[in-house]
Amino acid sequence: MVNPLTRMTAQHRAIRTDSQRREKVDVPRDDSALDVLQLALRRMRMPVLLVVLVFSISVIGLSLMPGVDAEGNPHRLTLFDSLYFMSYTATTIGFGEIPYSFTIYQRMWVMGSIFASVASWTFAITSMFSLLSAPGFRAAMTSLRIQRVLRRTRDPFYIVVGNGQTGAAVVEGLLAIHRDVVVVDQDPERLERLTMGQTTGSVLGLHGDARKVETLGSAGLGNSYCHGVLAMTDDDETNLAVVMSVNLLRPDVPVIARSNTAAMADRMRDFFPEHVVNPLDEYGKYLTMQLKRPHTHRLSQWLMNTPGTLIGPYRPGLADGRWVVVSDGEFGQEVARDLASAGLDVTRVDPVGELVDLTDVVGVVVGAESDIVNMSVAARVRAANPDCYLALRQKSLARRATTEAFAPDSVFVPAELVAHEAMAYLISPNYWHFVRKVMEREDEWAKEVLSALQRRVGRRTPEAARLDVSREHAPALHAWLQGNRITLGQLLTHPETDRTLPVYTAVLSREGERIEAPQADLPLQVGDIVMVLGTPSGLADLTSTVHNSADVEYLATGVRVPRTLVFRALRRLRRGGPGASGPDSPGPGGAPAGQADGEQPRPRHITPRPGHRPPSTWSGTHRRRSTVPRRGGPGGADRTGGTGASSNRG
């Protein structure tokens, strides 16, 4: 089962007004697969006809062969008897000579028919296996199967172009949040390993060139359930072609692209993608953030990690000293430029040759084009100054084990950086907005938010979910808000234990305005979109609450209400019938309706108890618990915080 809250993170957007499209054109599809299938059937025509011809001649000939009955009188088999005999003979069942023993002429004919049938069947089966193993036929059948599946699907899916390190990381993240994926790649072996190795989720692999619009059409770009395209290949031109195709043919579909150079990133932005990730450029910004705003860096990286990831250690004082960048390419230039622009003392050296004096260096970034060279240089750095901060670049994940054994202070993997940013946006635009705001805010604000998050969900990266205050997605909450009031703090309370749920409100969107980390006393309204971060048990309990009218009323009023129709009818009668006033109207003896005499009402607002975490499971047979695919890939945390609210026009 999938948690409805996390399923709601995939939402369509309106057609962009900044598209380059001037005329609507349907997304074309590659129909060459049908041509290949027709050619394949033509190739099988002669073997099939040969089998039919041999079988027909065998049946007719056997009916013409002279035979005798049990009394020695002349007797010939009917066409049906011959067909019956040749059928079980051809299938090697062998019931014997029926209805009478055969003559020498009939047996000679049967023997010849058997040899002819074996030869024709061998030819036909060989031709069929040759056809089925042909790469072109297999690719055509795969394409037709994908198109058939996409025509029938009613679930949102994403198209991932490229199945290298970056693409594989994105696919893994999408599967972790239970999204269907269509992967387009030019390497059939890599696609086969991908689709055969997946045990969860739905992955379809399409072999083709994504620079051709028809390939994207076959992958489902024209399908109304396509909720996003991710261009994650190592070739910038291919990624640019994907961005152009999506913007011109489906401007309502978000596209996220990877770029290896700043110039190509600018060209992609001319076609208004949702996000362009240049890992070489982004790493320098993240490193500068870590040095200048360590709390902001810890929080943003923690949010973009996979759920369950422990938060990294706090490393202050890294900006107080000299830095050395060891690199021989564009990566070193980008990092050195970013550090220098932040006001740091930076020295850039070539990885080939002698290193500079490292005795007074506070940090070293090793980022050559070769992973083996990087490891060698890192070993020399550690020997020269074991106390300095060591950041290591790793281009290939094939050497991940050796890098983990070496244990540098920081590892830069371009594929993972791109995947984390892409997944942070795919969780929801509101979630990505929260992550970006975290990066932009001052360090003290990030420190307060991080502290509130950890008090609510612990030290592991929480999962993200979206709550729409609507009749469809939160029926009980929506019904209560028709004339009643409930705050965020009240909603994020367990209705049975009265403890604060391990859920944190990251963003609240209301009428185009976004409020980051809203206060617990903020009243909810119909139409609000709330991005929450929390533990799986906390999000499941929240899902159950917004579907249970008794729980919602109790959290808002502190009054226990009946859960069945019979007891609700008795409660209405006790309150004086249909003319009784609202849920807080006094009942008999002056007690509020639904509250026994002498029972103490619960406060209308539940103050969160920092550090108090609810049990991981819920009790009671009357509640329905929903489980949901949550976020995998870049992650989010906690509940409504008391860290202050700031708003932004969305």
> Where is the domain boundary, 223, 245, 277?
277
For residue 505, the surrounding DSSP H or E stretch is strand 503-510
The per-residue pLDDT for 571 is 59
Spell out the residues 6+ positions from residue 102 whose beta carbon is closer than 8 angstroms to its own: 67, 110
| Identity of residue 560 | R
349 & 471 share domain: no
The per-residue pLDDT for 552 is 94
The per-residue pLDDT for 564 is 66
Q: Could you tell me if residue 106 is inside a domain? A: yes
272 & 312 share domain: no
Which domain CATH number covers 220?
3.40.50.720
94 & 118 share domain: yes
User: Structural domain tally of the chain?
Assistant: 4
Q: Could you tell me if residue 445 is inside a domain? A: no
Burial class of residue 158 (count of CB atoms within 10 Å of its CB; 0-12, 13-18, 19+): buried
178 & 103 share domain: no
Q: Could you tell me if residue 610 is inside a domain? A: no
- Rounded to whole angstroms, the Cα distance separating 232 from 77 reads 70
Q: Could you tell me if residue 1 is inside a domain? A: no
265 & 294 share domain: no
The per-residue pLDDT for 32 is 73
Cα–Cα distances (Å) from 303 to 276, 449, 454, in that order, read 19, 12, 12
Provide DSSP, 351-392: SSSPPPP-TTEEEEEE--S-HHHHHHHHHHHHHH-TTSEEEE
pLDDT tens figures, 538-583 = 999 999 999 999 999 999 999 887 766 665 666 566 655 444 434 4
> Where is the domain boundary, 381, 412, 427?
427
Residue with tokens 């899916």: 157
Which domain CATH number covers 63?
1.10.287.70
Kindly list the averaged pLDDT for each block of 10 residues, start to end, along the chain of length 650: 43 52 82 76 89 95 92 91 90 83 93 93 91 82 84 90 92 84 90 68 85 92 92 95 94 92 92 90 88 91 86 83 88 89 90 84 92 92 92 88 92 89 77 85 92 93 91 94 94 93 94 90 94 93 93 91 66 53 37 38 36 34 35 35 37
288 & 304 share domain: yes
**Per-position b or e across 226-255, b if 16+ CB within 10 A of its CB:** bbbbbbbbebbebbbbbbbbbbbbbbebbb
pLDDT tens figures, 284-299 = 888 989 888 999 999 9
- Rounded to whole angstroms, the Cα distance separating 384 from 367 reads 18
The per-residue pLDDT for 563 is 67
pTM: 0.68
Residue with tokens 């309706």: 593
Length of the chain: 650
Distance of CA 24 to the CA centre of its chain: 29
Which domain CATH number covers 482?
3.30.70.1450
120 & 221 share domain: no
Q: Could you tell me if residue 635 is inside a domain? A: no
299 & 406 share domain: yes
| Identity of residue 18 | D
Residue with tokens 């209805």: 99
- Rounded to whole angstroms, the Cα distance separating 557 from 139 reads 62
Which residues does residue 300 pair with via DSSP β-bridges, in sequence order?
none
218 & 343 share domain: no
Residue with tokens 């009980």: 476
> Where is the domain boundary, 277, 305, 323?
277
Q: Could you tell me if residue 148 is inside a domain? A: no
- Rounded to whole angstroms, the Cα distance separating 105 from 127 reads 33
Q: Could you tell me if residue 636 is inside a domain? A: no
Which residues does residue 182 pair with via DSSP β-bridges, in sequence order?
159, 204
126 & 179 share domain: no
Beta carbons of 338 and 328 less than 8 angstroms apart? no
- The beta strand positions in 103-162, using DSSP E, are 157-161
- Rounded to whole angstroms, the Cα distance separating 511 from 504 reads 21
Q: Could you tell me if residue 574 is inside a domain? A: no
Give, as one character, the DSSP assignment of residue 600.
P
Nearest to 606 by CA among 491, 517, 502: 491
For residue 132, the surrounding DSSP H or E stretch is helix 104-132
- Rounded to whole angstroms, the Cα distance separating 497 from 518 reads 24
308 & 271 share domain: no
The per-residue pLDDT for 582 is 42
Range of the domain at 183: 153-277
Which residues does residue 507 pair with via DSSP β-bridges, in sequence order?
516, 531
253 & 328 share domain: no
How is residue 124 written in tokens? 């036909």
Cα–Cα distances (Å) from 452 to 59, 459, 645, in that order, read 85, 11, 13
Cα–Cα distances (Å) from 87 to 58, 350, 381, in that order, read 10, 79, 80
Cα–Cα distances (Å) from 583 to 553, 556, 607, 617, in that order, read 8, 10, 22, 30
- Rounded to whole angstroms, the Cα distance separating 238 from 44 reads 38
